[in-house]
Each structure stands twice: as C-alpha cells, then as structure tokens.
Amino acid sequence: MIKPLTLLGWMALFGWLSLFGINANALVILQYHHISDKTPFITSTAPEIFEAHLDHLIAEDIEVVALEKALTADPTSVGSNHVVKVAITFDDAFPSVLVKALPLLTERQLPFTLFVATDLIETSRNRYLSWEDLKTIQTAGGTIANHSTRHQHWARKPSDQSMQAWTKAFIADALEAQAMLEANLGPVPKLYALPYGEYLPALASALENEGFTVFGQQSGAMAYPPQLVVPRFPMGGPYSDINRFKTKVRTRPFPRQPKRHQPLLHGLETRPIINLKTIASKEFERITCFGPEGRLTPSTVNDNVLIGASQPLKPGRARYNCTQMSDQPGRYFWHSFFWMKLDSDNRWYPEP
C-alpha cells in the first residue's frame, strides 16, 4: 500500500520537480481596467470580449481562483503537468467594473480582485466607484485591495530625497491606503498593485517585508513562490484579443526565476542586455523574444545567451517579452522584462 506523502515528502518532491522544470504549478493573473467600448481603447476591454474570456475559461475547465488564496502553492497539484489556474483582477475601480463586469462574474460565480487608489475614491467621485459601490462588490464576492492612496509614480524618486526617506514615504502611503480600505470595508488581504506597474526593486522589496504581495503590469505567469513583482497579463485594447487570450491563460513561468531585475534605465542605457541563462536551463535556440521594435536576436558569449534591443529604446515604458514552447503542447513558458527608460537628460517621460 502506498503511504500518503508527509509534508516533508511533498516539499522534497516539489523541489525535485522544480529543479527539472517539470512542475507546471503556475498562476496566470489577468489585469483589466474598463469593461466598456466607450472608454480609452488601450485600457478597455469590450463587454462582449470580456464575456468571451470568461466563457472560454469555463468551457476549458480552467479553474478561476481568488488571488489571495492562490498565492501559496497547493501541494495537491504538485507534479501535475496540467494545472492551469487563473485569477482575475481590475485596477482603479472604474464604474464599468460594477455595471458591466460584476453581473457577468457573479452569474458565473467567479472570484476577482479590484485594486483601488483610496484617495481617488474620495476626491474623484464621477470618475471612480464610491465606497458604497465597493461594499456592493465586496458583498457580491469580490476582493478589494491596495493600489496606493493617489496613484503616484513611486519609481520617480526626487533627486533631493534619500532612498531611505523615499522608501519610508512609499511604505507609509501603502499602509495609509490599507488603513483606509479597512476603515471603509473591514479586513482586506495584503495585496498591492503598483500604480502604472512602475517600481524600484528596493521599494517592492520593502513592501514585501511588510507582508504584502506586490503586483506589476508586466506579462507572464506567476511562479511558486511568487517572484518579487508578480506579473499580470494586461487585457486592454489589442491585448484583449480572444486568440491571444487563449494562449496566455495557459502560460507557465520559465523553469528558473530570473535574477532580480532593475527596470530603470538612465540616459545612455538604451539597449539593456538580459542573460537568458538566468531563466532557462537549456534549448535557448527555442526561445523567442520581442522588444518594442520587433524580434530580438540572441547572441552567445562564453556560454551566456544575451538579448538586447535591436534599436535604442525610446523614453517611456518598454518590455522584452520572451516565450518558449514547453514540454506540454499549447503551453508556453512566458517572461516579460519591464523597462522604464528616461530621456537622454535623465528626465522622466510624460504620461500619455
């Protein structure tokens, strides 16, 4: 008779499988803003497309999980090559989440999380949902979580402030937002979505030390345990396309977690280099990467596989997206490297 595995046994099996990249225990997090066809295209998903996304998840028997519950690995799924879990998130609390998304989600009994910048709820009442609306969403089964107080650009540390003082201000702001959420809605989990997806690793790490899980806006599947800034797939505008959606919800993280990534690029750093050896252990030739100007061609130097932009990156946010077909048909490893490129005088790019 086979004895059930002890906790130590599970941990050993988990480690062994991870070592060989066999473990497919991954979470794919979707990031939406507006569910509307009347709001800015790039941050909007049309209601019928959103509904098609939900129906695809149900038709394919893909488990939709509550984000806060999915952050720790489920040992019962360790070793399965077919586990696909998806979490649904919204940023900013736009009215269409209540009016359009909520009925579609509750009808299908799907959990979701809404990240809220707390001061904007108070000061921009026409633009965002009210506390009462958020309570309605919470009562209907949605989770409300932290998106700062005023949706600040926290990566933009003023040059006259020390990193220590800036980190203190960032943490104080996150805790203030958390206190505001709890004062209006009761206890909420420690989940924080970075405004604009922008970050400095030291800030994200300090917030993690406060017990928060920190989410970005770079695409990719979440590994277990979660990486420093957890990826989410943006689902607005062209990224809402149903065929792309079908591929993305089945993605997996690369077998190895990349080294801590420093996304801020100063004046002359226009072609940042990534060593793919830090994420994949073999078969580099099967990895495909794209930057803002198209496909990135890898070069090999002393057993390292390097990718860099084919054209200098322009000031603004940019990404290198890398994929590779995994050992499971139809499932890609997916990782996106996020950049914030300052201009040649080290000034920040304007928000569009």
- Pick the piece of the chain touching Zn ion (CB under 5 A) from 74-82, 86-94, 176-184, 265-273: 86-94
With contact defined as beta carbons under 8 Å apart, do 98 and 133 qualify? yes
Q: How far is the CB of 42 from Zn ion (least distance, A)?
A: 13
Q: Angle at CA 309, nearest 5°, toward 299 and 328?
A: 65
Q: Residue 198 interacts with Zn ion (CB under 5 A)?
A: no
- Pick the piece of the chain touching Zn ion (CB under 5 A) from 89-97, 133-141, 241-249, 288-296: 89-97
Cα four-point dihedral sign 316, 29, 143, 36: positive
Q: With respect to Zn ion, which residue has the nearer C-beta, 92 or 198?
A: 92
With contact defined as beta carbons under 8 Å apart, do 134 and 97 qualify? no
Q: How far is the CB of 167 from Zn ion (least distance, A)?
A: 21
With contact defined as beta carbons under 8 Å apart, do 72 and 78 qualify? no
What are the start-end ranges of the H helices in 231-314?
242-248
- Pick the piece of the chain touching Zn ion (CB under 5 A) from 17-25, 92-100, 264-272, 283-291: 92-100
Strands (E), the chain: 27-32, 34-35, 44-45, 63-64, 85-91, 113-116, 143-146, 191-193, 213-215, 233-234, 264-265, 274-275, 288-291, 294-296, 299-301, 304-307, 316-325, 332-341
The correct pick among 65, 92, 154, 194 for binding Zn ion (CB under 5 A) is 92
Residue number of the CB closest to Zn ion reads: 91
Q: How far is the CB of 91 from Zn ion (least distance, A)?
A: 4
CA gap 313, 342 in Å, rounded = 10
Q: How far is the CB of 217 from Zn ion (least distance, A)?
A: 8
Q: How far is the CB of 227 from Zn ion (least distance, A)?
A: 20
CA gap 287, 310 in Å, rounded = 16
**β-pair type (85-91, 27-32):** parallel
Q: With respect to Zn ion, which residue has the nearer C-beta, 91 or 206?
A: 91
- Pick the piece of the chain touching Zn ion (CB under 5 A) from 49-57, 87-95, 263-271, 288-296: 87-95
The two structure tokens encoding residue 226 = 């979660």
Residues that contact Zn ion, how many (by CB under 5 A): 2
Chain position carrying tokens 């077919």: 82
Q: How far is the CB of 233 from Zn ion (least distance, A)?
A: 15
CA gap 167, 275 in Å, rounded = 29
- Pick the piece of the chain touching Zn ion (CB under 5 A) from 74-82, 84-92, 104-112, 158-166: 84-92
With contact defined as beta carbons under 8 Å apart, do 173 and 146 qualify? no
Q: With respect to Zn ion, which residue has the nearer C-beta, 91 or 198?
A: 91
Q: With respect to Zn ion, which residue has the nearer C-beta, 195 or 315?
A: 195
The correct pick among 91, 142, 305, 315 for binding Zn ion (CB under 5 A) is 91
Q: With respect to Zn ion, which residue has the nearer C-beta, 32 or 334?
A: 32
Q: How far is the CB of 70 from Zn ion (least distance, A)?
A: 21
Residues in contact with Zn ion by the rule CB under 5 A: 91-92
